A and B are shown apart, each in its own frame.
Chain A
Amino acid sequence: MKRVLIVDDDINMHVIYQDTFAERSDIQIVSAYSVAKALEYLGKEIIDLIVLDIIMEPISGSYLYLKLTQDKTIREKKIPIIISSVLGDKGLKHIKKSQFLAIIEKPFERDAFLLKVDQLLGNVQPRKK
């Protein structure tokens, strides 16, 4: 059982994510409505993947991303991240690419999203370019 932390301030998105993972009995969702809540979960629970929105109130998702890459204790955990934002690749050029990071643009297709999740969780090998 893998645990996926969803960080989004929009309640509607959480409903969408629940629907997206509805058929995946191997994945358990942890919902955080703010960056503060997400940090709280990260501190006490084992998380295998983070799905992160960027434009959020009152604290931006970028802040959490910075924390994840800079904070020693969190960084060591090497938790893969999917940034899920309407900004997409174009709007997030400034974010450094890494094998633990995927960017997906909203709206996304369920199957494409799930494929990214599986790749990052190590369930499938990423296709070679």
Chain B
Amino acid sequence: MKTKIISVFLIEDNPAESRLVAEMLQQSQTQHFELIRFENLFPALEQVSKLKPDVILLDLGLGDSQGIETLRKAVKKIPHIPIVVLTMLIDEAISLQALQEGAQDYLIKAQLSAPLLMRSLMYAIERKQTEIRLKDSEERFKNLVERLSDALFLYDEKGRIVQINHEACLSLGYSRDELLSLTIDKIETYYDYTNLPPLWDIVALKPMTVPGIHRRKDGSLFPVELKICRFMYQDQKLILLQARDVSTRKKVEQALLESESKFRSLSELSANLIFIIRDGQVVYVNKQCEEKMGYTKEEFLSSSFDFFSIVAPESVKLLKENYEKHLQGKTTASVEYVFLNKAGQRVNVILSTRLMQYDGAQAICGVMTDITERKQIEDALKKSEFKLRALIENDPEAIFLRDRKGFYVLLNKRAQELLVAATVSGKIPQELSQGLSKVDRKIMRLRKCMVIQEMFSQYGEESFFEVSKYPVFDDEGKIIFLCSICRDITEKIKLEKVKDALIRDVSHELKTPIAMMQMAYDMAERAIKQGSMERIKQSQLIASRNLERMHHNVNNILDMFVLMGKRHVKPHTSSSIKKVARKVFTTLGYLIEKKKLKTKIDIPRSVDKVPLNEKDLHTIMYNTIDNALKFTEQGGIYVTARLKREHVCLKIRDTGFGIPSQDVNKVFDRFYKRNAALAGTGLGLSICKEIVTAYQGSIKITSAGEGKGTVVSVSLPKMDKR
């Protein structure tokens, strides 16, 4: 099987010999050769790098070079290519020399045969490759040994050092040649080489670890950790000693180096600004300093950089004082300063400084924490607290904050007012006073909000309060405060009372006429049985009067509901005041008769007609006259109407009790009654006002005082002339 083609350079100046070699190579059955022929050495060597021959056949006697020199030149130029030398029989001495000088083989021309030539070439190639591989491996191994951080010593059984590495020289302070001339006992002092059995007998093949002490060239000693093993090499007993320096100096140097790099990386990673000043000069700044202050490291470290130039004016004095203290060797506390960055913005910092040794001289190390953001947040917090306080202060509800024992912690304005009022009027209600009430204890036990009602007098007037009490917790869920919020519900309670009264009044007003009609009916029944005409008439009269009253009351109540909505005024209507007034007097005639009152209607024709719906006008007249009747025991009721400017002025005057002056403004309020127990819904005048206002009129009530009668004046629009 033919494999790779082997290319052969033949350098031979005799053509006959050259042809002979070519013929021999062609005879090969198993290997194919490619022969390139040269007559001189140098043209051949020039082609080597280009054609990359596998082997060279070299005749030593050439035109441009003679003898062993030819080989030397070739080996020097192409050390990696195997060379086989062709010689004459007589040159045996030269042939042997050729092998020493780097040739793989030699062939004597006279004995040359095809198989011999072929075998020689093949072997030459194979041997050269092995040689190269071996050399490479040794080179790599040597490299490895040299670079080891441990010192290596190889010595024979007599202690003569035969091989060492670079670290061995470095650790002991000898040169390589000096060390190679020494024996191991000059260096390694731990083992007694003279009295103890030879090391060879003690150590095994497997490395053992023992402590040792090495001596440097200057005589100083240092501890080492030794790994010793033995091996045989070409019948020679060799001991390998691997020494690691374990002295503290080494350790300290190592630690220092490590700590320095640790410090640096830590410092660079730190969120704080870290710097070192020595002799007033910045000698170190970390990355944060550059980022926060806007200066580059170079700017900081330049000799023209003045550290105090980046301090805000208000901080300069304090910082200089503390700097002086440091110079005197004193320590200083952490202080808040303001610095200025390159852009001139203020940077709030807390700076703590410390004296330290830096490169052998005293220096100040400063660590600054940027609190600008924290400051801003603090300010915002203060502002928001202020807002909150203002809110609480001005809350219309009284807010009491008390501690766990019930003592006041915070009272807002309203709460203080309440306390003053309560103190002046008598006593502070239990739920608002200091100390713990039953309710307070319950709240603390249940940890829940409770709402209670309190009533107390404020400057003589009863006030009702709804007090919401709840516990205030801290982050851990512990109760720290008790908060009471006190809401004035007097108005609400009053309104509820009014509502209750209204329901009672309305039901009274509706029930009364029904009751009367019922009893009139019973009476009529009995009268019919007895055949008493007089009684039948009486009962009929009672029924009809109460029917009327019922009608009026229902109207008033319906009106009240209309009041809640919007009253609609129908245009183009007209009613006669006189007619309506007469009707009302007739309806209420029995009451007038009972009290023996006089009535008078005085209305000129020109003002009689007003543009009001008759039902509305009736409501006004009925309510005002009914009112007048209620409060008049003697005298009379007088109705007059006059033209006043562009309005009709209607007056209903009575000679009754009049109205207390303090109540004059209240009479038109819905549900106003002089006395809660009085009959009526309290709606009458209120309804009147609504109606009059809807017609763009006005109503007012005047009284000369109690017992001096009342005048209700109603101003109504005039009838349009068209």
Residues in chain A within 8 A of chain B (CB atoms):
9-13, 15-16, 19, 33-34, 54-63, 86-87, 91, 106-110
Contact = CB atoms under 8 A, between A and B. Distances in A.
Given A11-B591, A57-B631, A107 B546 contact: no
Contacts of B678: 55-58, 60
Given A12-B545, A56-B679, A86-B508, A106 B519 contact: yes
Nearest to B530: A22
B384 interface: no
Given A106-B519, A107-B522, A108-B519, 4 more contacts: A11-B591, A15-B523, A19-B523, A58-B633
A109 to B, nearest CB: 7
B516 A57 contact: no
B679 A33 contact: no
Interface string B505-526: 0011001101110111011001
B382 interface: no
B516 A16 contact: yes
A19 B508 contact: no
Contacts of B539: 15, 19
A86 B633 CA distance: 24
B657 A12 contact: no
B677 A107 contact: no
B538 interface: yes
A115 B677 CA distance: 29
Contacts of B514: 107
5 contacts: A11-B590, A34-B633, A58-B678, A86-B511, A106-B512
Contacts of B538: 15, 19
Interface of B: 504, 507-508, 511-512, 514-516, 518-520, 522-523, 526-527, 535, 538-539, 541-542, 545-546, 590-591, 594, 630-631, 633, 657, 674-675, 677-680
B158 to A, nearest CB: 133
A117 to B, nearest CB: 16
Contact of B508 (A13, A15, A59, A87): A87
B630 A11 contact: no
B629 to A, nearest CB: 9
A107 B590 contact: no
A105 to B, nearest CB: 8
Contacts of A19: 523, 526-527, 535, 538-539
Contacts of A12: 516, 520, 541-542, 545-546, 590
User: Which among A13, A54, A107 has the highest number of chain B CB atoms within 10 Å?
Assistant: A107
Contact of B519 (A55, A61, A107): A107
Nearest to A12: B542
A34 B527 CA distance: 28
A55 B590 CA distance: 19
B677 A62 contact: yes
Given A57-B630, A58-B631, A86-B511, A16 B677 contact: no
A86 B505 CA distance: 11
Contacts of A110: 522, 526
Nearest to B677: A60
A19 B226 CA distance: 142
B515 A107 contact: yes
Contacts of B590: 11-12
Closest 8 CB pairs of A and B: A60-B677, A107-B518, A107-B515, A106-B515, A86-B511, A12-B542, A57-B630, A19-B523
Nearest to A56: B679
A9 B594 CA distance: 10
A107 B590 CA distance: 21
B147 to A, nearest CB: 112
User: Which among B512, B539, B545, B594 has the highest number of chain A CB atoms within 10 Å?
Assistant: B512
A60 B504 contact: no
A115 to B, nearest CB: 15
Contacts of A56: 678-679
B578 to A, nearest CB: 27
Contacts of A54: 677
A59 B676 CA distance: 11
User: Which among B512, B519, B522, B542 has the highest number of chain A CB atoms within 10 Å?
Assistant: B519
B31 to A, nearest CB: 138
A11 B519 contact: no
A38 B515 CA distance: 23
Contacts of A87: 504, 508
A86 B515 contact: yes
B516 A13 contact: yes
Contact of B523 (A16, A55, A60, A63): A16
A12 B657 CA distance: 24
Contact of B677 (A55, A106, A109): A55
Given A33-B594, A60-B675, A110-B522, A55 B508 contact: yes
Nearest to A106: B515
Contacts of B680: 57
A106 B507 CA distance: 13
A58 B657 contact: yes
Contacts of A106: 511-512, 515-516, 519
B680 to A, nearest CB: 8
A94 B719 CA distance: 53
Nearest to B514: A107
Nearest to A14: B594
B508 A11 contact: no
A107 B508 CA distance: 12
A11 to B, nearest CB: 5
Nearest to A62: B677
A62 B675 CA distance: 11
B141 to A, nearest CB: 119
Contacts of B591: 11
B9 to A, nearest CB: 141
B504 A16 contact: no
B630 A10 contact: no
Nearest to B593: A11
A13 B591 CA distance: 12
Contacts of A57: 630-631, 678-680
Contacts of A9: 679
B710 to A, nearest CB: 13
B659 to A, nearest CB: 12
A23 B321 CA distance: 119
Contacts of A86: 507-508, 511-512, 515
A109 B522 contact: yes
B649 to A, nearest CB: 28
A15 B516 CA distance: 10
Contacts of B519: 16, 106-108
Nearest to A34: B633
A12 B677 CA distance: 20
Contacts of A34: 633
A48 B678 CA distance: 27
Contacts of B523: 15-16, 19
Contacts of A91: 504
User: Which among B520, B539, B594, B679 has the highest number of chain A CB atoms within 10 Å?
Assistant: B679
Nearest to A57: B630
Contacts of A16: 516, 519-520, 523, 542
B331 to A, nearest CB: 84
A55 to B, nearest CB: 5
Contacts of B546: 12
Nearest to A9: B679
Contacts of B516: 10, 12-13, 16, 106-107
Nearest to A33: B594
A58 B511 CA distance: 20
A66 to B, nearest CB: 11
